[in-house]
Amino acid sequence: MTQFIQLQEQGKQTIEDELLAGLNASCAYTSPKFLYDALGSKLFEAICELPEYYPTRTEAEIFSRHARDIAQTVGAGATLIDLGAGNCAKAARLFPQLQPAQYVAVDISVEFLHEAVSRLQHRFPAIDMVAVGMDFSTELVLPNGVREENRLFFYPGSSIGNFTPEQALAFLRRLQAACSQDEGGAGGLLIGVDLLKEKSILDAAYDDALGVTASFNLNLLLHLNRLLGADFDVRAWRHCGFFNRKLSRIEMHLEAVTKQTVRWAGGMRCFEQGERIHTENSYKYTQQDFINLLTQAGFNNVRCWSDPQQWFMVCHAQT
């Protein structure tokens, strides 16, 4: 039987404090996690279907082309811990080859996981399943129902790129520690990483012709209006998404089209025309730089699989 566990959720007050610290900063910013309300998550799913957004389909191609080799490297009977599981589709595609002993779906809220994990349990009754609601980006203490043996963390989709390299290193160290709890030390990590490539390809992937990424970014303002009781006017802002070569990252911003004052419960801010709110970074790595990061975090025996154009890679690393 599936276990559903909700660990502590971020309270309303801490969400407000976090948002206001960013909106009141001299260069305003918000955490990318606020891009994902119900509509934001649907818009992200639509982004994954766009011709310009290559990461999702390229990663899927790598997994299907190298499925056997990946499965042999990882080995059967793992405790497969899917970080940011969402609809669980990526992990489910690996089940026939990986044959995990336990599947642990982790996402910010256990509610998001309920339907997907229940459906999956029905399809794969022999696999023990646990759904956990927690914010794994800052802390990684897994509940008791999660097996300690043979932990394999699964972090696909190049979400690691949404951390700064320093945050990514700290996060990888936490994963390394969490899979070394097993006395045998047989744990590992299977991760998707977006690779550095031509600026024109990256720019198009984050500023698509249909404007879906623009809608995804602008929808943040509607989310802020709800969370803060703010009065952002979506039509008074525009999406900016571009590759910053020097910092090897995509930057997403929202730019004020006109000078305006935005009010929220207990505060306000005047934005000049052209002033921006920094909403997301998406770092792009070279293969070697990412392997170095894994090694620095304490992983070893790294193996990587890529596509013929070397646009994306999947890595397996052991503890």
Binding interface with ligand AVI (CB under 6 A): 47, 55, 157-159, 161-162, 206, 213, 280, 282
∠ CA(67), CA(158), CA(227), 5° rounding? 135
Query: By C-beta, is 151 or 249 nearer to ligand AVI?
Result: 249
Query: By C-beta, is 149 or 255 nearer to ligand AVI?
Result: 255
Query: By C-beta, is 22 or 84 nearer to ligand AVI?
Result: 84
Compute the least distance from the CB of residue 198 to ligand AVI, in Å.
16
Show Cβ contacts of residue 35 under 8 Å, excluding neighbours closer than 6 positions. Answer: 44, 216, 217, 219, 220, 223, 279, 280
* Distance in angstroms between the alpha carbons of the first and the last residue of the chain: 30
Compute the least distance from the CB of residue 149 to ligand AVI, in Å.
30
C-beta of residue 152 within 8 angstroms of C-beta of residue 78: yes
Distance of CA 209 to the CA centre of its chain: 23
b/e code 198-220 from CB counts within 10 Å (16+ = b): eeeebebbbbbeeebbbbbbbbb
> What is the C-alpha separation between 103 and 101, in angstroms, rounded?
7
What is the Cα gyration radius of the chain?
Answer: 20
> What is the C-alpha separation between 94 and 193, in angstroms, rounded?
18
Compute the least distance from the CB of residue 267 to ligand AVI, in Å.
28
Compute the least distance from the CB of residue 217 to ligand AVI, in Å.
7
Query: By C-beta, is 82 or 280 nearer to ligand AVI?
Result: 280
Compute the least distance from the CB of residue 83 to ligand AVI, in Å.
12
Please report, as a single letter, which amino acid is at residue 140: L
Compute the least distance from the CB of residue 263 to ligand AVI, in Å.
28
Residue closest to ligand AVI, measured at CB: 282
Provide the β-strand partners of residue 260: 271
Query: By C-beta, is 130 or 205 nearer to ligand AVI?
Result: 205
Query: By C-beta, is 78 or 239 nearer to ligand AVI?
Result: 239
Provide the β-strand partners of residue 269: 262
> 3-class DSSP state for residue 67?
helix
